[in-house]
Amino acid sequence: MAGRDAGRRRAHRLPLEREGSLLGRQPRPVKVLDLSASGCLVQCDALLDPGAIFDLELRLEAQPLRAKARVTNSCLDGSAPPGLPSRYRAGLEFLSLSAREQTVLRRFLEDERRRRRSADAPAL
């Protein structure tokens, strides 16, 4: 999935692990694996149909984020251990974010990148 979509990405993705939910006809829990200003990668327990639209709910620090998102692709996640239920990954593109949601997301991404850079900086 990464190789095929890397050329189409509009924004740098930040790896992370956050619990979230996709709301639609049948709400389902997801784990957000990476996040950018334009979308995210999630892991879930069902194969999602490309083109399907969901409301994604995600807590970013103290601020909740709710975004309308469209499934761009979905595939079997090959990392599930034998004997456990299959897991799937799906790329989601944000379709609409309110001005408040854009601010929350942008601030979280900037703060998290800054925090990671300072954590990786060598001690003097």
Q: Which of 10-19, 20-29, 92-101, 112-121 is predicted with the least confidence, judged by mean pLDDT?
A: 112-121
20-59 pLDDT, tens digit each: 999 978 889 999 999 999 999 999 999 999 999 999 999 8
Residue whose structure tokens are 């060598």: 122
58-75 pLDDT, tens digit each: 988 777 899 999 999 999
Q: Count of domains in the chain?
A: 1
Domain harbouring 66, CATH code? 2.40.10.220
Is 124 part of a structural domain of the chain? no
Domain span at 62: 2-119
- DSSP state string for the chain: -HHHHGGG--S--EEEEEEEEEESSS-EEEEEEEE-SSEEEEEESSPPPTT-EEEEEEEETTEEEEEEEEEEEEEEETTPPTTSPPEEEEEEEEEE--HHHHHHHHHHHHHHHHHHHHHHSPP-
Is 75 part of a structural domain of the chain? yes
Is 38 part of a structural domain of the chain? yes
